[in-house]
Amino acid sequence: MSRLGDLLLTERLRRKMTLKQIAKLGGVSESYLKDVEEGKRIIADDQARRILKKMGMSEQNEPGFTLDDIASTVDLQTVKPSVSPVPQKQPNHSEAVSVYHEQPDNTPVQGSIWLDALTSVLKRVPVYNAVMQEVDHRLLPILDGRIAGASPEKVFYYLVPDDHMRGFRILKGDLCLLVPASSPVEGAVMLVQYGAHRHLRKIKKLDALNVLLQGYDREYSAEPYALPDVTFQGRVVKVEFDL
């Protein structure tokens, strides 16, 4: 299924509405809407927004999130209402339309799926380039108030600017998710700054006062530094790349 199709289906089910009702509100055919919900057709963002608005959804989504961002958070297994489809025969012998009957759980629908999700479980995590300018963002789930075990306000992505860590399977253009770390972590890949330079390096502690910063482009390299000369800006916990 498509993400926007998931969002339309989820909101329709939350409101106990049929395909026929939504199609009439949105000025589209039932077959088209059914194909969108099943992921067989792609719906434009503005058309999906118009249909969702007709369904009664609020436009008060948080700034910086596109409708496609919001749709990517839909989880049909957790937000489907407790309903049971009951086929109803039609006099003209056409295809039966599913009518949804509410079960004993009469919990009312509270707001829209995207408002529910954005207020508590998502964080807009910035993507920084080599000079720490924000160039993009990613939406990440917040679990138990944390992202990758750290404060959601402290995590960030670093867009790898070169191939100096290719021997450690980190290439130019990859995205590294970093969590706060102001001191060296043995064996970790960390974002460090020394002099006027900022690099990703693998860490090896030499002793209480010195650290080895390891890189691996076409050849392995290792440079020893005194701890006071190095600023540790974060520890890499995940690397993302495009196929």
d(CA 144, CA 150): 10
Alpha carbon distance 156, 133 (integer Å): 11
Q: What CA–CA distance (Å, rounded) separates 3 from 139?
A: 14
Name the pLDDT band for 62 (thresholds 50, 70, 90): very low
**Is the pTM higher than 0.85?**
no
Percent helix, strand and coil across the chain, each rounded to 5?
25, 35, 40
146-162: pLDDT as tens digits: 999 999 999 999 999 99
- Strand 156-159 and strand 122-128: the pairing is parallel
Could you tell me the domains of the chain? 3-119 (1.10.260.40), 122-240 (2.10.109.10)
Residue 150 identity: A
Task: Say what the pLDDT of residue 177 is.
Answer: 97
Burial 133-145 (b: 16+ CB within 10 A, else e): eeeebebbeeeee
For 125, the enclosing helix (H) or strand (E) is: strand 122-128
* pLDDT tens for each residue of 101-156: 334 443 434 445 555 545 457 888 999 999 999 999 998 888 888 999 999 999 99
Q: What is the DSSP letter of 109?
A: P
CB-hemisphere CA count at 13 Å for 142?
17
**Under 8 Å between Cβ of 173 and 144:** no
At residue 165 the predicted structure's pLDDT band, cuts being 50, 70 and 90, is very high
